[in-house]
Structure 1
């Protein structure tokens, strides 16, 4: 039988609307177990009070399948997917594998636009200001490399606590743009005023700075920066700021207006709980021309933010799963997540501050921390010292943490609980830290 052109077009249109049509392999696969429903958030309960409701958070923890072989307090690398997200991801992996190029060439672009719209709604942004990426690092590299307002003799600035891959990209700008690099050190102990004074002094001392990298929450110590205030002083001096919000979105309760930034990057596979390989870049529409198109990409017009990132043929299953992750996040509520994560951090920190030589590298000012906190012992600032501490916690106590270097005052150990972490587990950490000084002699 010979199909007419009209019939072919009609059939392809139906296929685009329903990529599973005519897929017997899909229909024969047995359905997997149904994911449990997230617990309903009690009405009228303040986040700080809900943070102490172990029955509620026990039900939340049941949404995550985690290993029982160790206590995972290294949840800053990426976030474990809750069961609804994990199951959706597996369905999307199957969908992509079965439909292959047909999915990519028909429905995916429209689905990706829907995901961009969902992200924009949660962030309080415009869809046209968002481009999907494979993570925060790709987004940072696109912004730093593409920022085109630098001239030879200008300077760029970053701090010791900023993300190492972003530092590398900034260090590349002398060759790419002829710009000088200025590096500053965040003070210890860190307070909001001390941080503001540091940036004010640095911007005053380096008037040629035109671009500043600023971590909303850094991945070394977990310190949360007063972004809006630093941005205001930078704008006053004509300095643009790229905000790295990869660790903060989904961990802290904020929207894009709270940052008041023109340029920002976000990860979706950390505290939003989406699969690995999902993030996005934010460029406010009127600033789009200040970032070059990626490799003169002609896939999208110059006025489309998606022309600023070129990822090639990427695994789209993580992107297709983002909506489910956002549903889970919204069901719990950003304020409730933030309060719980701060409660868990306080649980261990408040038990160990009196240990001789213990240095906690984030203050107790609520606006300056979330889940992530790092520590070091006085006299043990070498990388090897802190690797030994992390190894001891794992081998002796089955507590998994991670050593972090790059802090000017010395290396440290990072502790990062998650929504499935229990207070008892953090009590075990506190007990282990009390024995550390004698154990490591």
Structure 2
């Protein structure tokens, strides 16, 4: 399917005048009713139900957006709440920041803590997962010269950079491991078991729950346990998994973790948080010797300066939407959408799906590679072809040891037809790229 420039412009014009969902109705009334007795797995394929959910997202009709891993589109109730909070901040200015905001932010912190299964004393709000990750890595104070830190090729690039930074600042050695392809749960466990056993000097491990390159979900709990037995601390990067998968911090068994709220929770850009298990707080130093809060307060581990607080003020509405829809329903739908296209292209000659079908090892995000096409420019050519020829937006991802790939990320507003269109385009890809 090829779209003319006139059709694209017309689509963008339609978006500009699209009616917004009413902000005066409760979320329970805006969302379609879940049929009684229907499991999340059965609901996942109910296109009528999910069309009702999709109607609460304002997205461009000019292309099919399958690059939703960067950040999440806000549903209309959240977008409207965000606009109200932007106006409130602009109108009340520093009076808001010096008075009502502090109490509101603390209530939001308590709400986030309940959702993730922690206490508010273990949560500090940040401007996103990256800030949280950098603060935990830079603030970890148990490293000594000669120790080692470790991460995998699939871990987030900003986390890798921060771990590399420790080499010059703390005199530590940096160890990099490779997640095997094809990945299986046992293969991932074996890789970490072997790496930790062969590197007794490792003291800190960066571990992605659901990585942003291929979407592989790691067995975090088991890896945290094996690391703890060897005296290795783990910082879990749950920025992509929170809101995409259904879990709590107890399920991860993590002492340190980072989360994003503007990805799969659908909060505005600029919202996230870090988690430090209560008895481990002293092992992360206050950022830049911050004195805004006492050292015994986790909020001293974040200092963002004067920031746009409208995203934080909107987090409660995003959590309302998440809970009204149901985390288990979201997880089942996103996995269903992923399966919809993956199962239709596995038999394509040369098609390499980099995330396994093994239960618990994937969510919405999955990447593919065509055999022999491992270079950046070759995968950019694929994303360009999908966009220019089929109006399907995807993204090339690098950093995978075996070669670059193309990441596909559906969202709650994605339809089965969108994934069928992708599958049809991918089936012609080897021939189209000759």
Interval containing the TM-score (normalised by the shorter chain): over 0.9
Matched, 1:439 2:432: yes
| 1:423 paired residue among 407, 416, 431 | 416
Matched, 1:298 2:291: yes
Matched with 1:389 is: 382
Distance 2:224 2:291 in 1: 33
TM-fit CA distance, 1:33:
6.5
Q: Report the more deviating stretch, 382-391 or 33-42.
A: 33-42
- 1:80-121 CA-to-partner distances (Å, cap 9, x unmatched) read 000000000000000000000000000001000000000011
- 1:367-415 CA-to-partner distances (Å, cap 9, x unmatched) read 0000000000000010110000001000000000000000000000000
Distance 1:33 1:97 in 2: 24
Distance 1:123 1:438 in 2: 46
Q: Where do 5+ consecutive residues of structure 2 fail to align?
A: 1-19
Matched with 2:213 is: 220
Matched with 2:22 is: 34
Matched with 1:414 is: 407
Distance 2:34 2:80 in 1: 22
Matched with 1:87 is: 80
Distance 1:83 1:161 in 2: 33
Matched with 1:329 is: 322
| 2:334 paired residue among 341, 344, 363 | 341
Distance 1:34 1:61 in 2: 15
Matched, 1:264 2:257: yes
Matched with 2:135 is: 142
Matched with 2:182 is: 189
Contact 1:40–1:331 (8 Å) recurs in 2: no
| Dislocated runs of 4+, deviation >4 Å | none
Matched, 1:308 2:301: yes
Contact 1:262–1:287 (8 Å) recurs in 2: yes
Distance 1:80 1:244 in 2: 21
| 1:121 paired residue among 99, 108, 114 | 114
Contact 1:41–1:331 (8 Å) recurs in 2: no
Alignment of 1:57-136 (within 5 A): 57-136=50-129
2:367 is paired with a residue of what secondary structure?
strand
Contact 2:352–2:369 (8 Å) recurs in 1: yes
Alignment of 1:151-166 (within 5 A): 151-166=144-159
Instruction: Tell me how large the CA RMSD over aligned residues is.
Output: 0.8
Matched with 1:208 is: 201
Contact 2:21–2:77 (8 Å) recurs in 1: no
Matched, 1:176 2:177: no
Matched with 1:248 is: 241
Q: Which has the larger radius of gyration?
A: 1
| 1:286 paired residue among 274, 279, 285 | 279
TM-fit CA distance, 1:41:
2.5
Matched with 1:238 is: 231
- 1:340-381 CA-to-partner distances (Å, cap 9, x unmatched) read 000000000000000000000000012000000000000001
TM-fit CA distance, 1:45:
1.1
2:231 is paired with a residue of what secondary structure?
coil
Distance 2:290 2:261 in 1: 25
